[in-house]
Structure 1
Amino acid sequence: MPDTTTFDRIKELAEKRGKSLPAVSADLKFSDNLFYRWKTSNPKASDLAKVADYFHVSVDYLLGREEKSDVPDLSIDQILDSVENYSGGELNESDREMLRIIIEAKKAAMDKETKK
């Protein structure tokens, strides 16, 4: 993403989560227009760290120093396929279902934490 600003990265991450920038600001207890001010001014390091934690990405990603976020966009089936590839064999249906439940629970916990 050439010429991507911190604002653009935050906006993109918010959209991926189905959130508006004002909603993210409220979740983080920031003023409504803080992200828009970052289009023309430098954010505080502590604020950037809060945003990075909220979205589970690095501060470097928000600043445009990294091209990929730390969290890939993978479906649960893709994750399970990766587990099979890693283990070197196919998972039986009960193991696959157990892992699916664990992954969904972890995702729900992360989403809940993000909403705090």
Structure 2
Amino acid sequence: MTILDRTKEIAKLRGISLTDTAIKAGLADKSIYSWDRSTPKADNLQKVADVLHVSTDYLLGRTDAMNYSSVADNKQIDLKDALNDEIMLAFDGRDIPETDKVKIREYIELLDLKRRSEHE
């Protein structure tokens, strides 16, 4: 599987087009499509990996583990922050309705409150 194939695959999984991925990464809108003919620069690959929440090693085919970069850096992902990330709030390639997002946020806050009270 090529870099372009992996990028297409994860972008589809995240519910985002390659054009939108490139734009969010600060690249020219069709630049990712050229990755089937040439290897992207390391910094451009990292930008796209960050947008798609995977490691560059995953996009390069060095691993099958997606390893979001902040997890790879031993940082925890704050679920409340993740809920505000439009890429993270998609399911089966479709956006989650705002009313459901509210319910998900409330549930996470309840779990967080419960976890904190158990540790006190």
- Size of the aligned set, in residue pairs, is 79
Matched, 1:32 2:29: yes
Matched, 1:53 2:28: no
Structure 2 residue aligned with 1:88: none
AA aligned to 2:83 is A
Distance 1:8 1:113 in 2: 19
Distance 1:52 1:18 in 2: 15
Structure 2 residue aligned with 1:75: none
Map residues 1-116 of structure 1 onto 2, 5 A cutoff: 4-70=1-67, 103=79, 105-109=80-84, 111-112=85-86
RMSD (Å), alpha carbons: 2.1
Contact 2:2 2:36 in 1 (8 A): yes
Structure 1 residue aligned with 2:117: none
Call closer, same or farther: CA 1:27–1:33 in 2, change over 3 Å. Answer: same
- Give TM-score scaled by structure 1 length: 0.59
Q: The residue matched to 1:38 in structure 2 has which SS?
A: helix
Contact 2:22 2:48 in 1 (8 A): no
- Measure how far apart 1:29 and its partner are: 1.9
- Measure how far apart 1:6 and its partner are: 0.8
AA aligned to 1:17 is R
- Measure how far apart 1:70 and its partner are: 1.6
- Give TM-score scaled by structure 2 length: 0.58
CA displacement, residues 58-91 of structure 1 (integer Å, 9 cap, x when unaligned): 11111000012125xxxxxxxxxxxxxxxxxxxx
Distance 1:16 1:9 in 2: 11
| Identity between Structure 1 and Structure 2 (%) | 41
Unaligned runs of 5+ in 1: 72-101
